[in-house]
Amino acid sequence: MNDSATEKKRPKITLTEKVISGLRADIQSGVLQPGMMLPTEPSLSLKFGVSRTVIREAIAALKAEGLLKPRQGAGVLVLAPARANGSIFAFDHAQISDVLEILELRMAVEIEAASLACARCSVAHQAKIFEALQEMIVQVKKGGSAVKADYEFHRAIADATNNRKYKEFLEFLGDKTIPRAQLQLKLIATEGQTTYMSQILDEHQRIYEAIAIRDAKKARQAMRDHLSRSQSRYQSFLAD
């Protein structure tokens, strides 16, 4: 099937859906934290390259989701994503067992996402994955944990599947996607921050390289290796 035929079969994403997805991701990842005021309509219009009417429609949708709330005379307030009691995604960041369960769930989704990305990834998608990887490298060189860039890397791969449900799944998990965002593990201190993050970068590099050459088998294995090793790291901490 040629590229033009593939493009025709891809579902069209409206401008409003694009803004909704972008703002929801910022809220889920912590870029926009609960209690913050949403940027003004003009600034959001400039950021997303859309009209203020589109911004208003997106904000209205996110208000209906309970992620935003109007504050009279002040603007729009960012709310914490609701977590229903008894949900399968109810999550205690302090419990390593919960971290392991989320990683296992991610394996069921992200291994296949890496494979689909090889078949459906556009040049623009690949560029986003690469940019996130490069940002991880920059942040690690500065001594940081590169949590946001790590999340954006996985979200970009999900987006590259051209199946919006993969991306929505990661956006729903939000900060649960990257366990070290919540856990200050002795594991890192024991192994050494540099060694630990070097392993993380190497695993992400292999995932990117497999997607870049469109090798679905290697991409699946690279993602499996990364998430399996993450499980092993947290399991060793649990054993300690």
pLDDT in tens, 36-92: 999 999 999 999 999 999 999 999 888 877 889 888 777 899 988 765 444 444 444
Do 181 and 175 touch, CB atoms closer than 8 A?
Answer: yes
Report residue 132's pLDDT band, with 50, 70 and 90 as the boundaries. very high
List C-alpha distances in Å: 164 to 69, 71, 138, 223.
Answer: 25, 31, 29, 19
More confident call, 191 vs 52? 52
Please name the residues in contact with 161: beta carbons below 8 A apart, sequence gap of 6 or more.
113, 116, 117, 120, 167
List C-alpha distances in Å: 45 to 30, 58, 161, 171.
Answer: 21, 11, 27, 22
Fold of 10-78: Arc Repressor Mutant, subunit A (1.10.10)
Closest CA to 160 of 129, 135, 130: 129
Do 145 and 161 touch, CB atoms closer than 8 A?
Answer: no
| Residue extents of the structural domains in the chain | 10-78, 96-239
DSSP state of 37: B
Distance CA 238, CA 208 (A): 30
Percent of the chain clearing pLDDT 90 (strictly above): 45
Give mean pLDDT, residues 196-216: 95
For the question of whether the overall pTM of this predicted structure is more than 0.75, the answer is no
For 96-239, the fitting CATH number among 1.20.81.30, 1.10.150.570, 1.20.120.530, 1.20.1260.10 is: 1.20.120.530
Residue 69 gets the label, from left (phi > 0), alpha (psi -120 to 50) or beta, of beta
Q: Rounded to the nearest 5 degrees, what angle is found at the Cα of 31, between the Cα atoms of 162 and 46?
A: 75
The pLDDT score that the predictor gives to residue 40 is: 93
How many other C-beta atoms lie within 10 A of the C-beta of residue 192?
10
Q: Which amino acid would we find at residue 4?
A: S
Do 114 and 211 touch, CB atoms closer than 8 A?
Answer: yes
Tokens of 212: 């870049």
**Residue owning tokens 């392991």:** 100
